[in-house]
Amino acid sequence: MEIRIGVGFDIHRLAEGRDLIIGGTKIDSDFGFIAHSDGDIFFHALTDALLGAVGFGDIGQLFPDTDKRWKNAPSNIFLEKARDIVYQRGYKISNIDAVIVLEKVKILPYREQIIDNTAKILNISKEKIFLKGKRFEGIDDIGKGEGGFCIVNTILMR
Ligand code: MG
């Protein structure tokens, strides 16, 4: 059996008056991510983790932010593309684990919804996906609530 590990990272600044979308879920917040697409840090990091695990480029190559097609695009488009690449190569997703760092927003109330959305898109059971929210404890700009980031690990098998 072949085992592949993928890692993904994404970070965006926050600005007032934008929707905050994480894992395809609208989070109750006065601030949302500034991005070319919807700025979904979890789906972006997960897309990169899946692509990286199979050695197939990265999200910036596949979906350049200079391309008008991805302006305000829902990020499930990126995740669906990564999913297809992974499955076409014969891999199965063993698990996904993520850390979402946001100072002023709690992830826990949305965790089930995010996991549910992700499981549906990837066509895997919810038990294979986990994520947790962390704070930056007031340190630096992230700690002042000016941005947020996400780290994702995934293991694939074939
Ligand atoms: Mg991004």
Q: What is the pLDDT of residues 9-38, one digit of tens each?
A: 999 999 999 999 999 999 999 999 999 889
Query: Measured between alpha carbons, how far is 11 from 13 in angstroms, rounded to an integer?
Result: 7
Domain 3-157 sits in CATH 3.30.470.20: no
| Burial of 15 from C-beta contacts in 10 A (0-12 / 13-18 / 19+) | middle
Q: Read off the pLDDT of residues 76-113 as tens digits, 9 standing for 90 and up.
A: 999 999 999 999 999 999 999 999 999 999 999 999 99
- Cα(42) to ligand 1 centroid in Å equals 8
What pLDDT was estimated at residue 34?
94
Predicted TM-score (pTM) of the model is 0.96
Distance 13 CA to ligand 1 centre (A): 10
Distance 11 CA to ligand 1 centre (A): 6
One-letter amino acid for residue 60 of the chain: G
Give 92 Cα–ligand 1 centroid separation in angstroms.
24
Ligand 1 centre distance from Cα of residue 107 (Å): 18
**How remote is the CA of residue 1 from the centroid of ligand 1, in Å?**
32
How far away, in angstroms, is 23 Cα from ligand 1 center? 12
Question: H-helix or E-strand containing 92?
Answer: strand 92-101
Please give the pLDDT value at position 66: 85
Query: How far apart are the CA of 3 and the centre of ligand 1, in A?
Result: 26
Confidence label for 67 from pLDDT (cuts 50, 70 and 90): confident
